[in-house]
Amino acid sequence: MTSRPARAGGRLTGWAARGGGRLTGWAARGGGRLTGRTAHRGGGGASPVIEPEVAALADALARAVEGDVEFDDYARHLYSRDASMYSIRPRGVVAPRHAEDVVAAVRVAAEHGVAVLPRGAGTSLAGQTVGDAVVLDFSRYMCAILELDAATRTARVQPGVVQDQLNGRRQRTS
């Protein structure tokens, strides 16, 4: 098994860069790109401290994928709900940029014995997009309509495409 070297160029900005809080694990070692409220600490919001039981997972994911890796309290809170009444806090969130990121994230999660939960728009009414898992958010980068064939009424899409997006594209091409 080969592993990709840690990404260079990840940087902290704002509150985290000024030493405004205690960073642990992968964030303290600069092993990944912090995003969201952790990187742009504007005031209020979540602490960048990561629980010890998920720090190794966060570190491994940050080194394995090119997409965003978010394990801060704010991101985990945002992804703990969908359109249902359920609220289950995920271990963390990965926004893969391409299929290789998906493969890498699934491999790392399996190595750590953690479930993977794919998520598009989070519109489930029965809780399918929340759980104690690594959430793969496809809506950020993997949301392209690759092919649309009106004659056969078929489409080839990436997993982050939502029905409204597909319907809009279909109407524009009709």
Residue 148 has pLDDT above 60, yes or no: yes
- With CA atoms as reference, report the closest residue to 121 among 85, 165, 153, 67: 165
Q: Is the separation of the CB atoms in 115 and 136 below 8 Å?
A: no
Residue 58 has pLDDT above 70, yes or no: yes
- With CA atoms as reference, report the closest residue to 88 among 78, 96, 98, 101: 78
Whole-prediction pTM: 0.70
Q: Helix, strand or coil for residue 149?
A: strand
| Entry field: residues in the chain | 174
For residue 41, give every residue at least 6 positions away whose Cβ sits within 8 Å of its Cβ, in sequence order, or none. 14, 15, 16, 20, 21, 48
Domain ranges of the chain: 14-142, 143-174
Please provide the average confidence, as pLDDT, over all residues in the chain.
78
Q: Sort strands 92-95 and 68-70 into parallel, antiparallel or unpaired.
A: antiparallel
Residue 6 has pLDDT above 50, yes or no: no
CATH classification of 14-142, choosing from 3.90.550.10, 3.40.50.9100, 3.30.43.10, 3.10.20.30?
A: 3.30.43.10
pLDDT (tens digit per residue) in 69-117: 999 999 999 999 999 999 999 999 999 999 999 999 999 999 999 999 9
The whole-number pLDDT of residue 160 equals 95
Residue 151 has pLDDT above 70, yes or no: yes
